[in-house]
Amino acid sequence: MKQSVERRLAAILAADVAGYSRLMGVDEEGTAQALREHRAAADPLVAEHGGRIVKTTGDGVLIEFGSVVGAVQCALALQKLTAERNAGIAGERRMEWRIGIHLGDVLVEGDDILGDGVNIAARLEGLAEPGGICISEDAFRQVRGKIEAEFADIGEQSLKNIARPMRVYRIGPASAPETATPPTALPLPDKPSIAVLPFQNMSGDPEQEYFADGMVEDIITGLSRSKSLFVIARHSTFTYKGKAVDIKQVGRELGIRYVLEGSVRKAGNRVRITGQLIDATTGAHLWADRFDSQLEDIFDLQDQVTSCVIGAIFPQLERAEIERAKRKPTECLQAYDYYLRALSSLHHRFTREGNIEAVELLRRANVIDPEFAAAYALHAHCYLQKNFSAGESMLLRNELKPEDSQGERLSSIKTIQWCLHRPDR
């Protein structure tokens, strides 16, 4: 006989500490102690508003309420308490909570609660700014007109692994701004930087977690072998395990430009693994692929997928860095002025004297802004042109045009290479 499943309607509050991995990296023992003190101070507020702490996971906490009003009032009280405790603490050292609240049906297993209601609350918490609160439309209907607070409709949001978009509201005290100022982003390293987030186990079988985690560890190890990459360590990225994350925020918290995320799904003796590479500064997807295989030898499959992922990532990283360098403008108007004058000398005069003048102007531009990529590229073009005769220089000028397609440029490059390596040179 099928065992009945206990369900109930509940207001669910999910919260975690914004930038916790960054805080741990700065002061591990101090951050752990501060988290314990924050929780000890918060526990009486939870009880006062009729809440029950279901569980804590690292820096996260899941709380159940019988009333949405109680849940929202508790959230506001917790954020007020946190702001008071952060007074006098430097912005980069503050411990700030992000909170999500949803009213929904939950499954009850002993003292634990499960189901979409819990998942939605966790996804809403991921949308909240540090020091902020996000609630679902279902929760908003229950508290509208009953709580003195400011509600901001941020429209329908697509929540990860939730089938339909959901309207979301941000709330805060009536006398306070809607959102708190986010912590300062960590500076990006000089070389391409990447974080590999824990892969999501889509199998519905907790026993497969080890396989997904092992896949991520192998990829991190493979990427770390490259001296041209800055790779975030496993202990930092695994703080995001089981959480709904904003890729842009991950980039800011970890100080990286690229994020690799993925999932693992097992059905019978087959496994499907997907991966996608994202530019954390823009949120743009750079690469995505999936891998299907028989689960006859887990280790062979891990090696195969790791090799394929790493082999696919490196060209994408290189291409993304090239495109970023091409797009990056200089922030110095004087350097840009030197660049434009050099461009004019080359294109309008196209003489030896014009080339010499352009080289000097570009040298000045890069003294002012050492990261002005376009100036370096034009500088290299000047030295290439210097090795050509007047007739060949005119050929080069006519061959390479900014508006050319990739195929046209390849043809032009072949012509230039013939000039450089002809027999009579």
Is the domain defined by 193-327 classed in CATH 3.40.50.10610?
A: yes
The CATH code belonging to domain 7-173 is 3.30.70.1230
| pLDDT given for residue 302 in this prediction | 66
pLDDT beneath 70: ranges in the chain: 1-4, 91-92, 172-186, 207, 295-306, 308-309, 312, 316-317, 320-331, 347-350, 387-425
For residue 199, report the phi and psi dihedrals to the nearest 5 degrees.
-70, 145
**How many degrees, rounded to 5, is the angle at CA 318 between CA 191 and CA 225?**
60
Parts of the chain belonging to CATH 3.30.70.1230: 7-173
**CA-to-CA dists, residue 291 to 241, 264, 269, 274, 309, angstroms:** 22, 10, 14, 6, 9
Parts of the chain belonging to CATH 3.40.50.10610: 193-327
| pLDDT given for residue 13 in this prediction | 95
Closest CA to 233 of 254, 251, 206, 252: 254
| pLDDT given for residue 418 in this prediction | 45
| pLDDT given for residue 139 in this prediction | 93
- Say if CB 127 and CB 246 are below 8 A apart: yes
| pLDDT given for residue 177 in this prediction | 43
| Spatial distance between the Cα atoms of 368 and 333, rounded to a whole number of angstroms | 10
What residues contact residue 109 under an 8 Å CB cut-off, 6+ apart? none
| Spatial distance between the Cα atoms of 12 and 62, rounded to a whole number of angstroms | 7
Beta bridge pairs of residue 285: 278
* Model confidence, pTM: 0.44
- Say if CB 203 and CB 255 are below 8 A apart: no
Concatenate the DSSP letters of all residues of 159-225 into one string: -TT-SS-EEEEEEEETTS-SSPPPPPPPPPPSS-EEEEPPPEE-SS-GGGHHHHHHHHHHHHHHHHT
Burial (CB count <10 Å: 0-12, 13-18, 19+), residue 168: buried
For residue 259, report the phi and psi dihedrals to the nearest 5 degrees.
-130, 130
| pLDDT given for residue 421 in this prediction | 46
